[in-house]
Structure 1
Amino acid sequence: MKKILFTLAALVLINITYGQSAIKVEKQGKGNPILFLPGFTTPGSVWNETIQNLNGTYETHVVTYAGFDGLEPIGTPWYAPIKDELIKYVETENLQNLTVIGHSMGGNLATEIAAHFNDEVSGLILVDAIPCMRELMMPGVPASSLQYDSPYNNRIIEMEADAFAQMAYGMASNMTNTKEKIEEIASWSKIADRETYVYGYTDLLKLDLRPELQNINVNTLILGATFPTKEMTQKTFEQQYANLKNKSIVMADDSKHFIMFDQPEWFYKQVNNYLTEYAQ
């Protein structure tokens, strides 16, 4: 009973310390630490099944971001405070022999953490994440041209709930082949703080972490989805991660963005094999 109360107290303490600003972190277990970073709009609970299928014993730190999953928003800029608080969290918790696993935007944050701490990070897994989304989606467009106050952003801010829900469902349909997960993914966008959703995405489009990759020494596992084609996505990952020295790029067949939903057993195997080799 005392152990249960202590664990609950620890979770409450972490949420009070970090959950009122840019991030909320839930910490559980014992062993070498793993920091789990979800993607844009996605709650930390997306990692529940992955954690349940870990072969080893680890101390897990699961993050959710301000403005999503019912957490209070923090305004703009949005991405930079999240990055700064994550770095502060790793330092405050004194996370040694740390593995960072990030999906999508979480992969961007994982990249930044690995570059910042360098040799102190012993493991890095990037799940369908690319260091410069803008170059893929808007080739040749400079970051300086992207502003919070823009016609597109204003249109999304002012969009009626029904229209936004329809848009969110359409986007979710392109993120997974697993039909029963589409509504869940769409719901994360629908309950998100609207300004965080719009302006936070602008922050993401401004990012270009490709120069930071040369500061990362850890052996990195990059898991990519094969949608729309394996050849196209393989080429994109190779180009985007050209500056990363020690890497393995492995593609998940018949998968869209949420690889952990579309190919769960394959995904767990990839994660566990990597952890066995680098994080024990």
Structure 2
Amino acid sequence: MLSTTYEYFAEKVGAGESVIFLPAGGFSGNEGLNIAEYLQVDFETHMIDLPDIGRSSGISGKVTSIVLADWVKEYMDRREMKNAVVIGHSLGGAVALSFARHYPERVRTLILLDQGHKPFPKVPTSEFGIFAYAFPLLNAGVKLFGERLLKRLETFFKESGNGDFDRQVTNFCAHVNVEETRYVRTALRSQTDFSARGLNLMFGYYNLDIPGLLNNIAVPTRVYYATFAELDDRERRRTEHYVKKLRDRRLPVTWHAVKGGHFVHWNENFSLEDIKQNAMFRRGEGGK
């Protein structure tokens, strides 16, 4: 099998041992800027754009957990990183989880932000609204027709952009129940449309067995999951159901419930100090 060479775009903050941050779908790597700045005295955080959802080149062909793992590994290999603290949110968390599953020796600790504890819904209305009801059919179509269909779908995922950025920020913060900060504004200003290969990544994510990956994890892992309490009762019950199932198993996972919605790292109840202390605890086990 021929190896693939990718182009990566990453913003780096701080100095010291390596941290990798992988963002949610639709966001650039700087979605993790609040974490990177908090860690900057002791760690160098690499905030990496996901493949073709941002400025990193895309993945062609079938996207699987090992393909995602190899994508992260290539980034680390080029920079001669022996291992790193790996942090991922949402889609980025799925990439991080895939990497930790296949290359545990390269991960000092894995930090998942509202990821790993439950499967991606088959009808993802929270992410795509009414368009989500077409996802199962589109997923089958992508498997059959590949990039030809993905090219046609590009236009449905492009933002219209009315130019009123302040209103966009206000609406977003109200929708996901977070306070407006410069970090939120920076991330929203850097949002990107889904290209065909970005959509290829999205449908690959759709087909991953997320709880199955976590069930086979071998590295110290912390999962910060949104409770959705007082926000979305259906999602609250769904979250409780899957977390209970995983808690009953002896996994190397520490669970942190964050009262609020999906963007846990922007939530006032989220502890950046906890992230730092956990990274510091593992730092003696290897560096760049």
Give TM-score, length-normalised by structure 2: 0.69
Counterpart position of 1:117: 103
What are the Cα deviations for residues 160-200 of structure 1, in whole angstroms up to 9, with x where unaligned? 967687xxx799568621264788766655x4144345443
The one-letter amino acid of 2:119's match is C
Q: Does the alignment pair 1:267 with 2:271?
A: yes
Matches within 5 A, 1:72-83: 74=58, 76-77=60-61, 79=63, 83=69
Following TM superposition, by how much is the alpha carbon of 1:120 offset from its aligned partner in structure 2, in angstroms? 3.7
Counterpart position of 1:46: 31
Counterpart position of 2:217: 216
Q: Separation in 2 of the partners of 1:162 and 1:237?
A: 34
Following TM superposition, by how much is the alpha carbon of 1:63 offset from its aligned partner in structure 2, in angstroms? 0.6
Instruction: Give the secondary-structure state (helix, strand or coil) at the position aligned to 1:41.
Output: coil
Q: Separation in 1 of the partners of 2:173 and 2:34?
A: 21
Q: Separation in 2 of the partners of 1:135 and 1:35?
A: 29
What are the Cα deviations for residues 46-99 of structure 1, in whole angstroms up to 9, with x where unaligned? 111211112850132221123334x27536448555542211222333323421
Q: Does the alignment pair 1:133 with 2:120?
A: yes
Matches within 5 A, 1:144-163: 146-148=140-142, 157-159=154-156
Give TM-score, length-normalised by structure 1: 0.70
Gaps of 5+ in 2: 125-131, 163-167
Q: Separation in 2 of the partners of 1:160 and 1:176?
A: 20
The one-letter amino acid of 2:84's match is L
Matches within 5 A, 1:1-280: 21=6, 23-54=8-39, 57-69=42-54, 71=55, 74=58, 76-77=60-61, 79=63, 83-130=69-116, 132-134=119-121, 137=124, 146-148=140-142, 157-159=154-156, 172=172, 176-178=176-178, 180=180, 191-196=192-197, 198-227=199-228, 228-229=232-233, 230=236, 232-239=238-245, 245-253=251-259, 255-263=260-268, 266-280=270-284
Change (3 A) 1:238 1:61: farther
The one-letter amino acid of 2:39's match is L
The one-letter amino acid of 2:204's match is D
Percent of aligned pairs sharing the same letter = 19
The one-letter amino acid of 2:100's match is A
What are the Cα deviations for residues 202-235 of structure 1, in whole angstroms up to 9, with x where unaligned? 2211111433334422221100112225554233
Q: Is the 8 A contact 1:37 1:102 kept in 2?
A: yes
Instruction: Give the secondary-structure state (helix, strand or coil) at the position aligned to 1:42.
Output: coil
The one-letter amino acid of 2:206's match is L
Following TM superposition, by how much is the alpha carbon of 1:240 offset from its aligned partner in structure 2, in angstroms? 5.9
Counterpart position of 1:7: none
Change (3 A) 1:153 1:90: closer
Change (3 A) 1:158 1:47: closer
Instruction: Give the secondary-structure state (helix, strand or coil) at the position aligned to 1:178.
Output: coil
Instruction: Give the secondary-structure state (helix, strand or coil) at the position aligned to 1:99.
Output: strand
Q: Separation in 1 of the partners of 2:174 and 2:204?
A: 22
Q: Separation in 2 of the partners of 1:245 and 1:143?
A: 35
Change (3 A) 1:250 1:196: same
Following TM superposition, by how much is the alpha carbon of 1:110 offset from its aligned partner in structure 2, in angstroms? 1.1
Instruction: Give the secondary-structure state (helix, strand or coil) at the position aligned to 1:224.
Output: strand
Change (3 A) 1:246 1:177: same
Instruction: Give the secondary-structure state (helix, strand or coil) at the position aligned to 2:176.
Output: coil
Q: Separation in 2 of the partners of 1:172 and 1:63?
A: 23
Instruction: Give the secondary-structure state (helix, strand or coil) at the position aligned to 1:266.
Output: coil
Instruction: Give the secondary-structure state (helix, strand or coil) at the position aligned to 1:85.
Output: helix
